Amino acid sequence: MKIIMTGGGTGGHIYPAITIADKIKRKNPDAEILFVGTKRGLEKDIVPQNGYEIEFIAVSGFDRKNILKSIKTIKDLYIGIKQAKGIINRFKPDIVIGTGGYVCGPVVRAAYKKGIKTFIHEQNAFPGMTNKMLEKFANKVFISFSESKKYFKDQSKLILSGNPIRKEFTLQNNSENRKALNITDGDFVVLCFSGSLGSKTINNSIAEAIKKINNEDKLKIFFITGKSYYEPVCSLLEEEMIAKNAIVEILPYTHELYKYMSAADLVISRSGALTISEINALGKASILIPSPYVANNHQFFNAKILSDAGCAILIEEKDITDDKLYDTIMRLKNNKEMLNRMSKISQEMGMLDAVEIIYENIEIWV
């Protein structure tokens, strides 16, 4: 079995692809898997770190505000299509699986033209432009939210799978992780993060909320700032940390997010599709602050689904203040009934078998 995985730009596109690839390799140790991405995306580092080969093509997104950049995008597209055809002719895959990002376009289209079975996976509630365009070239379209159905034309192609998440998020022991992180019985634990790069707005709001904490009983905060914001945040909280060192732990980044999330009672984060799937897999209540800088405002739609269901509180970035964030944290800390209800709903929304569903539907075509 020979498979091309394509998807990139952000971890939200890359990690689902790696999870699917890992599942295929566990079931078919002799399978040959090749990733196709761009040198500008995170895939150039993440894919090799996870033990897979990757080749690159030239492709970029359209910039409607800059005509010169859009002209370059068109040139890149023609180059990317030619490169994708070359990779497919050389590797001769049995199937091609796209998990989002501009790179999927040339690869999935080229595979379809060669009569190769193709599949795409959409992580977000509001589908990206690339996946909506690729629907006609795909044998099946895997979606993570039922709300996505209305954005696709051929309903017969759609399979509700959920988001493939790393197995680490399904194998956690809450009690063991709390013990390992020196969390005492009865502590209310808050995990704050906003992606590997971090967010200045969210970090500042969390920092100001921390300043308002005045010897709160049984409260523990893990604050993951993103590497570039670690020093500024530490400087901002330097005086307060002398008194609050016992309840606030600041980290630049962690490769073991699943341990901290498992141990938390409340998660404060962006609302990327993969993040909220991980939150639901672990059954956590959350405060979600969608990024307003993503295509089609898709993080807002992701967060709204959880908010409407009752397992998350949605605060738009334009509305966030340190007072509002602090008050929301304390309201949940002091209302166990509400917190437990949110956690229960979150757990019920979790889809832990996404990669199984995807693998089973791919396998029948091989």
Burial class (CB in 10 A: 0-12, 13-18, 19+), 36: buried
Neighbouring CB atoms inside 10 A of 145's CB total: 23
Q: How much is the pLDDT for 21? A: 97
Q: How much is the pLDDT for 245? A: 64
Ranges of residues in the chain whose predicted pLDDT is under 70: 61-73, 196, 214-215, 239-246, 366
Token pair of 337 as six digits: 């009934």
Q: Which of 296, 302, 295, 300 is nearest to 280 (CA)?
A: 302
Q: How much is the pLDDT for 129? A: 86
Q: How much is the pLDDT for 260? A: 97
Q: How far apart are CA 86 and CA 109, in angstroms?
A: 13
Q: How much is the pLDDT for 215? A: 65
The answer to whether 2-163+352-363 and 168-349 have equal CATH topology is yes
Phi, psi of 220 (to 5 degrees): -135, 130
Q: How much is the pLDDT for 211? A: 84
Cβ-Cβ contacts under 8 Å for 138 (sequence gap 6 or more): 98, 108, 112, 118, 119, 120, 157
pTM score, whole prediction = 0.89
Q: How much is the pLDDT for 188? A: 96
Q: How far apart are CA 243 and CA 192, in angstroms?
A: 20
Second CATH level (architecture) for the domain 2-163+352-363: 3-Layer(aba) Sandwich (3.40)
3-state SS of the chain: helix, strand, coil percent to 5?
Answer: 50, 15, 35
**Domain residue limits, the chain:** 2-163+352-363, 168-349
Cβ-Cβ contacts under 8 Å for 354 (sequence gap 6 or more): 144, 161, 162, 163, 164, 165, 277
CATH topology of domain 168-349: Rossmann fold (3.40.50)
Q: Which of 320, 260, 257, 246 is nearest to 288 (CA)?
A: 320
Which residue has 């509002």 as its token pair? 324
